[in-house]
């Protein structure tokens, strides 16, 4: 994709990876619109980067999605890049007496249906553009799961598969389909502790790497994944799946 002159819509742009991507693209001369539920953060994003636009959108609310996306399409018909990034993560203890499917339902609604709803709302517009990009945020955990985040990992595995089919179906159109597969990054995805966890990659370092990969077009098969995650990505191919799964799930 071109790195400047785009009009980019980013879901889940109030914090973490989405917000950092929004600021990086804004700094490179793109028009950027971000969405999310927390309106105070939408205001803060716009104040920090004058010109960046924040619009409230709850991807789990059908009415909000249909009304807001219609407003966004009418106001910004020039959108040519969609980054479906919003997501949630929940730990699940399936052994617990109290375990039920409520967390799983929430994850499926947001991480799977939220991404599909977003793409469905903007695809008709993007299909008519000469240079469109759809990027969705998956995870390196799509390739080998952490069992304590069972539905979360499965939701990202779903996206990995679904994006391949989307890419294939759109192959005759100038719509690039990218899958962003972050490693463990310092954001508040699983709570405050993650944002300063020394085992997680600093957010600024990760975003700099992503922007470099995009600039260089370094995303074979549409996959943006750091080299350090290649062992997980290719675990099955390399005959290392059991070994890596065991190492990731020691407790
Ligand atoms: N950080 C990591 O280690 C990591 C690793 C792999 C993949 N990822 C993926 O990266 C993406 C961004 O996560 P993050 O780490 O940056 O965490 P984050 O800071 O918690 O960001 C999540 C974003 O999603 C939005 N969101 C969540 N539910 C939503 C809903 N129902 N409607 C609209 N927006 C919603 C949040 O905005 P509001 O709360 O304001 O609605 C927020 O902007 C996610 O898809 C996540 O799975 C993260």
Residue 57, both tokens: 């959108």
What's residue 63's pLDDT? 87
User: Is 251's pLDDT higher than 90?
Assistant: no
Q: Is 97 exposed, middle or buried (0-12, 13-18, 19+ CB in 10 A)?
A: exposed
Q: Where on the phi/psi map is residue 110: left (φ > 0), alpha (ψ -120 to 50), or beta? A: alpha
Average pLDDT (123-136) is 96
**HSE (CB half, 13 Å, CA atoms) of 101?**
3
Catalytically active residues, by annotation: 152
At residue 249, φ and ψ (nearest 5 deg) are -130, 55
With a threshold of 0.85, does the pTM exceed it? yes
Q: What is the mean pLDDT of the chain?
A: 97
What's residue 58's pLDDT? 97
* Each residue's pLDDT tens digit, 54-79: 999 999 998 889 999 999 999 999 99
* Each residue's pLDDT tens digit, 3-44: 999 999 999 999 999 999 999 999 999 999 999 999 999 999
* Each residue's pLDDT tens digit, 86-102: 999 999 999 999 999 99
What's residue 64's pLDDT? 86
Average pLDDT (108-118) is 97
Domain 7-248 has CATH 3.40.50.720: yes
* 49: helix, strand or coil: coil
* Each residue's pLDDT tens digit, 155-182: 999 999 999 999 999 999 999 999 999 9
CB atoms within 10 A of CB 174: 13
The ligand 1 site (C-beta within 6 Å) comprises 11-18, 36-38, 41, 57-60, 85-89, 110, 114, 137, 139, 182, 184-185, 187-189
Give the Å distance between the CA of 142 and the centre of ligand 1.
16
* From 12, 113, 196, mutation site for ligand 1 pocket: most ligand atoms within 8 A of C-beta: 12
User: Is 118's pLDDT higher than 90?
Assistant: yes
* Each residue's pLDDT tens digit, 208-239: 999 999 999 999 999 999 999 999 999 999 99
Residue 248, both tokens: 């990731």
Residue 190's pLDDT band (cuts 50, 70, 90): very high
Give the Å distance between the CA of 234 and the centre of ligand 1.
25
């Amino acid at each position: 994709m071109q790195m400047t002159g785009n009009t980019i819509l980013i879901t889940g742009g109030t914090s973490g990876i989405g917000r950092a991507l929004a600021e990086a693209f804004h700094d490179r001369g793109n028009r950027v619109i971000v969405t999310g539920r927390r309106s105070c953060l939408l205001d803060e994003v716009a104040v920090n980067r004058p010109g960046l636009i924040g619009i409230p959108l709850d991807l789990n609310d059908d009415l909000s999605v249909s009304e807001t996306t219609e407003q966004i399409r009418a106001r910004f018909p020039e959108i040519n890049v969609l980054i479906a990034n919003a997501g949630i993560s929940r730990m699940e203890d399936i052994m617990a007496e109290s375990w039920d499917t409520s967390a799983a339902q929430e994850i499926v609604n947001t991480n799977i249906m939220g991404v599909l709803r977003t793409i469905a709302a903007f695809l008709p517009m993007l299909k008519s553009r000469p240079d469109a990009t759809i990027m969705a945020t998956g995870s390196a955990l799509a390739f080998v799961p952490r069992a304590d985040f069972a539905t979360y990992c499965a939701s990202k595995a779903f996206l990995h598969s679904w994006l391949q089919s989307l890419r294939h179906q759109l192959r005759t159109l100038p719509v690039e389909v990218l899958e962003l597969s972050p490693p463990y990054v310092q954001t508040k995805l699983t709570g405050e502790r993650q944002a300063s966890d020394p085992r997680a990659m600093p957010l600024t370092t990760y975003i700099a790497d992503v922007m470099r990969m995009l600039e260089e077009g370094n995303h074979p098969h549409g996959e943006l994944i750091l080299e350090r995650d290649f062992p997980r990505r290719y675990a099955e191919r390399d005959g290392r799946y059991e070994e890596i799964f065991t190492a990731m799930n020691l407790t």
